[in-house]
Amino acid sequence: MTNQYSELVEQYERDGYAIIRNVIDAQLVKECQQHVDFLQKKYPTIPGEHLHHPIMRNDPFWIRLVSDQRLLDLAAIFGKPFIEPDKGIALFSSHYFSKPPKTGMAVLWHQDGAYWPLKPMNVLTMWLAVDRSDRENGCLRVIRGSHKQGLTDLKEDVSVTNVLGSYTHRDEDINQNDVVDMILEPGDISIHHPNIVHGSDANTSDRRRCGLTIRYMAPTTECIDKTQPVMMMSGAAVQGINHYRSWPKYRSGYDFSFSGCEQWNEKRRIVPEDEQYFERTDYDQMDKEIEEEVLSFVAKLGGKKPYAEL
């Protein structure tokens, strides 16, 4: 499999990104699209651009998706040398960016690693296209080769409506000849280095633009934020590094129904001291807590007030 992707691995090392076509099959892509619709109906006050990891923590389909062996195989190939499949692959976080038609927000130029509480920064980002992504609906744009730069300090900017409320680079810092538009079809994957400068324009089209970011890391990487719901995807945890969470339990009538959901609870990875969370049955209260946590997280971006107050 490595030889199949050798040219793309070389491109990733040289340019800081790579695109792999048709990674996820059409049926799973359809489930992804339905899943996003399900989440936005379930959490109507959360903007589509901010379907964050507190939701993932309680969502079995989400973890079914990011634990897909096809994705883990790619993480092992492109994450060398720090990701070694025989030593395990961990998940730092995951986030749906679902830009609605006409109103989907821009993302200013930034480096992901500038935001992340990881030590060392041994992490690899995948971006799974749930919808077609192009210039008209605000596709991801990367600066070729910019991953060779060090990480730059964040600067707040709420002068224009944007997802993160901050940036690391201004337009005048960017060589436009190095800008690459990541044109992706549903099921395609793009892979990015944590230092690469990237962003996206607002969605002014009549079409939604949704993608799922997935951040894989080595189990030897420490997440300094102990509230982050990190999970092991494969292999064993390294003792003394990170507090890992159980994979979410599937609860019929509450969770999104997906292919294989009936067998999911037999496959999920369990951390015994974390299981009390999934013994809860006060689902309305759980959803309220998740919604409040996400909106609180969003409110901290760029010093903004919670969305409920805007």
> What is the total count of domains within the chain?
1
Which helix (H) or strand (E) segment is 83 a member of? none
Does the pLDDT value for residue 252 go beyond 70? yes
The angle formed by the CA atoms of residues 230, 190 and 217, to the nearest 5 degrees, is 25
In a domain, 259, yes or no: yes
Q: What's at 141, amino acid-wise?
A: R
Note the helical H segments in 44-106.
Answer: 53-56, 60-66, 69-78
What is the model's pTM? 0.93
The CATH number covering residue 197 comes to: 2.60.120.620
- The better pLDDT of the pair 21, 3 is held by 21
In a domain, 110, yes or no: yes
Task: Give per-residue pLDDT as tens, 68-91.
Answer: 999 999 999 999 999 998 899 999
**Domain residues for 86?**
5-302
Q: How far apart are CA 54 and CA 7, in angstroms?
A: 36
In a domain, 21, yes or no: yes
In the predicted model, what is the mean pLDDT of residues 87-100?
Answer: 95
Does the pLDDT value for residue 166 go beyond 90? no
Task: Give per-residue pLDDT as tens, 214-240.
Answer: 999 999 999 999 989 999 999 999 999
List beta partners, residue 223: 118
Q: What is the pLDDT of residue 2?
A: 60
In a domain, 310, yes or no: no
What HEC string does 199-230 produce?
A: EECCECCCCCEEEEEEEEECCCCEECCCCCCC
Encoded tokens for 294: 């996400």
In a domain, 307, yes or no: no
Cα atoms in the 13 Å half-sphere on the side-chain side of 176: 2
In a domain, 177, yes or no: yes
Task: Give per-residue pLDDT as tens, 262-297.
Answer: 999 999 999 999 999 999 999 999 999 999 999 998
In a domain, 98, yes or no: yes
In a domain, 308, yes or no: no
